[in-house]
Amino acid sequence: MPSFDVVSEIDRQELRNAVDQAQRELATRFDFKNTNSEIDQKDLVLTLSTVSEDRLRALRTLLEEKFVKRKLSLKGLDWGKIEQASGDTVRQVVTVKVGIDSDKAREINRLIKEKGPKGVSSQSQAQQIRVTGKKRDDLQAVIALLREADLGIPLQFENFRD
Mean pLDDT of the chain: 91
Question: What pLDDT, on a 0 to 100 scale, did the predictor assign at position 42?
Answer: 94
Same domain as 38, residue 49: yes
Report the CATH number that the domain containing residue 36 is assigned in CATH: 3.30.70.990
Question: What pLDDT, on a 0 to 100 scale, did the predictor assign at position 150?
Answer: 84
Of 96, 119, 151, the position where a domain reaches its end is 96
Same domain as 105, residue 92: no
What residues pair up with 158 in beta bridges, in sequence order? 5
Same domain as 78, residue 126: no
Of 60, 79, 96, the position where a domain reaches its end is 96
Phi and psi angles of residue 79, each rounded to the nearest 5 degrees, phi first: -85, 125
Same domain as 91, residue 20: yes
Domain that holds residue 104: 3-8+99-161
* Parts of the chain with a pLDDT under 50: none
Q: Which helix (H) or strand (E) holds 67?
A: helix 53-69
Question: What pLDDT, on a 0 to 100 scale, did the predictor assign at position 25?
Answer: 93
- Cα(65)–Cα(22) distance, rounded to whole angstroms? 9
Same domain as 106, residue 86: no
Collapsed DSSP state (helix, strand, coil) of residue 46:
strand
Same domain as 114, residue 74: no
- Cα(99)–Cα(108) distance, rounded to whole angstroms? 13
Instruction: Please count the structural domains in the chain.
Output: 2
Of 96, 111, 138, the position where a domain reaches its end is 96
Report the CATH number that the domain containing residue 127 is assigned in CATH: 3.30.70.860
- Cα(37)–Cα(91) distance, rounded to whole angstroms? 10
Predicted TM-score (pTM) of this structure: 0.82
How far does Cα 65 stand from its chain's mean position? Answer: 14
Same domain as 81, residue 22: yes
